[in-house]
């Protein structure tokens, strides 16, 4: 038993050493203060250009939060390799105009892939103990990126996009502010993040028929999928799906009412998180944070509506 414990600690130390070494080589410094993690990023490309950013991740009641358990890294990316993973796959929107692409002024991808450490014990949120000692949190986290490499302007096109490792990115933007660009998103799962320039329109280009642009439609489809796939009671599932249908209709005729319906959906998710809707994320990846993912998608939809109204980035 002693040899097994000693071996486990040796492996644990090795994993932490490798994580810290990778972070050091990538010029990423991560610190934790209470429920919030901070990362300072400075990456120099082969051309001698340096890209800098500050990342802030604020959690709701995290367990085992530390720089090591968070496992945050950053890298310089080739925009042409990432653009196909963004909405429209690097092409222009022929119906509503605009596109989504990485700005070459900030070709940085941040990966947050918390380590699963099964030989450490933690109490867990479910009352019965978690499967390991890795990071856990409930509901959502707020993910903010601040960089001076991008220039802010009113009606900023910059958005926070997130993707499971190697998969397609989707919009999780909650807010974009000046100084130079401060973009913040909200979600309930990890792991790769970029800032992309999203210049897509919200209304069809000269079409007389009511058509929802992709900037809305992709979020509505994602919400529907999340609600359909979640473990929910039939009444709650139907209520949420009816709200998505209501939002879809209202987006064509009344943005204020659509915004109110989105807020109603977010309110239901918040009220039922942890009871009727699963709301825990943990590094062992053995549970699904349905509430966090639903809310993150709904918040991004809310921001898209506000952007069209001119409320966001006045």
pLDDT tens by residue, 69-121: 999 999 999 999 999 999 999 899 999 999 999 999 999 999 999 998 765 44
Label residues 153-185 b or e (16+ Cβ within 10 Å = b). Answer: eeebbbbbbbbeeeeebbbbbbbbeeeebbbbb
Under 8 Å between Cβ of 269 and 298: yes
Query: Which of these, 106, 215, 198, lies nearest to 151 by C-alpha position?
Result: 106
Task: List pLDDT tens digits, range 22-50.
Answer: 433 459 999 999 999 999 999 999 989 99
Burial class (CB within 10 angstroms; exposed 0-12, middle 13-18, buried 19+) of 53: buried
pLDDT band at 311 (very low <50, low <70, confident <90, very high): confident
Residue 313, pLDDT score: 59
| Higher-pLDDT residue of 310, 36 | 36
3-state DSSP call for residue 186? strand
Residue 17 has pLDDT above 80, yes or no: no
Question: Facing residues of 202 across strands?
Answer: none
SS (H, E, C) 41-96: EEEECCCCCEEEEEEEEEECCCECCCHHHHCEEEEECCHHHHHHHCHHHHCCCCCC
Under 8 Å between Cβ of 109 and 77: yes
Q: State the average pLDDT over residues 2-26.
A: 41
Q: How far apart are CA 127 and CA 208, in angstroms?
A: 56
**φ and ψ at residue 156, rounded to 5 degrees:** -50, 135
Under 8 Å between Cβ of 70 and 143: no
Q: State the average pLDDT over residues 272-300.
A: 96
């Amino acid at each position: 038993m002693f040899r097994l414990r000693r071996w486990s600690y040796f492996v644990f130390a090795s994993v932490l050493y490798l994580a810290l070494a990778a972070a050091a080589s990538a010029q990423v410094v991560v610190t934790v203060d209470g429920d919030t993690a901070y990362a300072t990023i400075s990456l120099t490309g082969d051309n001698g250009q340096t890209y800098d950013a500050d990342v802030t991740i604020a959690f709701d009641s995290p367990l085992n939060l530390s720089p090591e358990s968070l496992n945050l890294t950053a890298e310089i990316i080739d925009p042409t390799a990432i653009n196909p993973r963004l909405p429209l796959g690097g092409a222009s929107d022929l119906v509503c105009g605009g596109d989504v692409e990485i700005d070459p002024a900030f070709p940085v991808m941040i990966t947050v892939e918390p380590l699963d450490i099964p030989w450490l014990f933690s109490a867990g949120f479910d009352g019965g103990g978690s499967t390991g000692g890795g990071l856990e949190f409930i509901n959502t986290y707020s993910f903010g990126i601040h960089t001076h490499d991008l220039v802010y302007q009113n009606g900023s096109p910059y958005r926070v996009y997130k993707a499971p490792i190697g998969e397609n990115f989707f919009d999780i933007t909650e807010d974009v502010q000046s100084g130079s660009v401060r973009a913040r998103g909200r979600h309930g799962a990890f792991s790769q993040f970029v800032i992309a320039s999203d210049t897509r329109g919200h209304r069809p280009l000269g079409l007389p028929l009511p058509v929802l642009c992709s900037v809305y439609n992709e979020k509505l489809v994602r919400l529907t999928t999340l609600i359909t796939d979640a473990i929910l009671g039939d009444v709650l599932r139907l209520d949420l799906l009816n709200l998505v249908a209501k939002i879809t209709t209202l987006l064509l005729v009344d943005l204020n009412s659509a915004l109110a319906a989105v807020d109603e959906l977010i309110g239901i998710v918040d009220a039922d998180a942890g009871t009727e809707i699963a709301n825990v994320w943990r590094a062992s990846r053995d549970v699904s944070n349905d509430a966090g993912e639903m809310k993150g998608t709904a918040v991004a939809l809310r921001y898209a509506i506000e952007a069209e109204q001119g409320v966001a980035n006045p």
